[in-house]
């Protein structure tokens, strides 16, 4: 069976609307003879005359009348498919997005994001998903719309990224911790007992590399998979957790943060998504909203920082 020529739908719509070969030809910028040949092809394809002579004009057959509404709808739908996407109207948008992020990001920014959505896009649902690793399979497979994280060697090269904010690491201790008394030096920091945060159970990281410059080594008392767990342990012990200041601001508001006594590079938290969603208007709108919300987040400095 041969593939139908879908251009004939445009021809049929013009013929049915105009009721004449000449009128349809002018509408589609064709010659009358070319339109006559197209009508002949339509008659052969449908097995119906479609338009028949009545005096000086043409009148539609019952089959043509039955097709008129369907043909018009099909042409409109085809034009919508091929037309560039329009900007989204958040107020009327109904859609669910999935964002994979750490507990710290959700606690710091999540409430503000949901508040903006409730006001600007009440039909939008944002689901926060757990982040057990840094693999990108879920973004590639369409299970996630976004992910937040620090771009690194494990980040899939095809992913698109957008910086949200820069952060620095700080030492966090309970109020009254011995490190709160007197200036914090690299030696005093290294002598304390530490919590290592690593999803991959790695016991060495950038902090240890920075201490090695001073020929110092810290004692890792325990290893946990996330910052929230580390800070929970800090509250009930003399352990020290080294965490991103802004990223975990809501988690350590009741604790004391201490600037690290040695240089450590800042990190940039980014929003990541797959290229297949890059041009989607709704996705693009929400990316902007997330970036704006992070820029406005009221978590700049911990008042208990020393």
- Is residue 16 domain-shared with residue 160, that is, in the same domain? no
56 is a domain residue: yes
182 is a domain residue: yes
Instruction: Give the pLDDT band (50/70/90) at residue 140.
Output: confident
Lowest mean pLDDT among 74-78, 156-160, 278-282, 299-303: 299-303
Predicted TM-score (pTM) of the model is 0.65
* 66, 82, 98 - which closes a domain: 82
209 is a domain residue: yes
Instruction: Give the pLDDT band (50/70/90) at residue 83.
Output: low
Q: What is the CATH number of the domain that holds 246?
A: 3.40.190.10
Q: What is the pLDDT of residues 24-67, one digit of tens each?
A: 898 888 998 998 999 999 898 889 998 898 877 788 899 988 88
Q: Kindly tell me if the per-residue pLDDT of 264 is higher than 50.
A: yes
254 is a domain residue: yes
What's the pLDDT score for residue 228? 86
29 is a domain residue: yes
SS3 of the chain: the string is CCCCCCHHHHHHHHHHHHCCHHHHHHHHCCCHHHHHHHHHHHHHHHCCCCEEEECCEEEECHHHHHHHHHHHHHHHHHHHHHCCCCCCCHHHCCEEEEEECCHHHHHHHHHHHHHHHHHHCCCEEEEEECCCCCCCHHHHCCCCCEEEEECCCCCCCCCEEEEEEEECEEEEECCCCHHHCCCCCHHHHHHCEEEEECCCCCCCCHHHHHHHHCCCCCEEEEEECCHHHHHHHHHCCCCEEEEECCCCCCCCCCCEEEECCCCCCCEEEEEEECHHHCCCHHHHHHHHHHHHHHHHCCCCCCCCCC
* 48, 82, 116 - which closes a domain: 82
Instruction: Give the pLDDT band (50/70/90) at residue 113.
Output: very high
Q: What is the pLDDT of residues 234-258, one digit of tens each?
A: 999 999 999 998 878 777 888 999 9
Q: Kindly tell me if the per-residue pLDDT of 200 is higher than 60.
A: yes
* 82, 106, 136 - which closes a domain: 82
């Amino acid at each position: 069976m041969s593939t139908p020529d879908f251009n004939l739908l445009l021809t049929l719509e013009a013929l049915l609307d105009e009721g004449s070969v000449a009128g349809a030809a002018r509408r589609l910028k064709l010659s009358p003879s070319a339109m006559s040949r197209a009508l002949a092809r339509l008659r052969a394809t449908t097995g119906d005359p479609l338009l028949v002579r009545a005096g000086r004009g043409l009148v539609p057959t019952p089959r043509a009348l039955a097709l008129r509404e369907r043909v018009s709808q099909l042409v409109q739908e085809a034009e919508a498919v091929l037309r560039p996407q329009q900007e989204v109207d958040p107020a009327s948008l109904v859609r669910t997005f999935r964002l994979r992020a750490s507990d710290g990001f959700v606690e710091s920014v999540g409430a503000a994001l949901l508040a903006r959505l409730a006001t600007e896009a009440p039909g939008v649902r944002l689901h926060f998903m757990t982040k057990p690793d840094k693999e990108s399979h879920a973004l590639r497979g369409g299970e996630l719309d976004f992910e937040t994280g620090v771009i690194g060697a494990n980040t899939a090269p095809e992913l698109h990224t957008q910086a949200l904010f820069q952060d620095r690491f700080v030492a966090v201790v309970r109020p009254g911790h011995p490190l709160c008394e007197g200036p914090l030096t690299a030696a005093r920091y290294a002598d304390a007992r530490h919590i290592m945060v690593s999803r991959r159970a790695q016991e060495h990281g950038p902090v240890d590399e920075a201490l090695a410059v001073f020929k110092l080594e810290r004692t890792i008392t325990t290893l946990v998979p996330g910052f929230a767990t580390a800070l929970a342990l800090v509250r009930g012990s003399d352990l020290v957790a080294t965490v991103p200041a802004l990223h975990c601001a809501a988690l350590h508001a009741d604790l004391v943060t201490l600037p690290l006594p040695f240089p450590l590079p800042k990190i940039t938290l980014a929003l990541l998504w797959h290229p297949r969603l890059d041009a989607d208007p709704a996705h693009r709108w929400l990316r902007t909203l997330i970036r704006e919300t992070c820029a406005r987040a009221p978590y700049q400095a911990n008042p208990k920082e020393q």
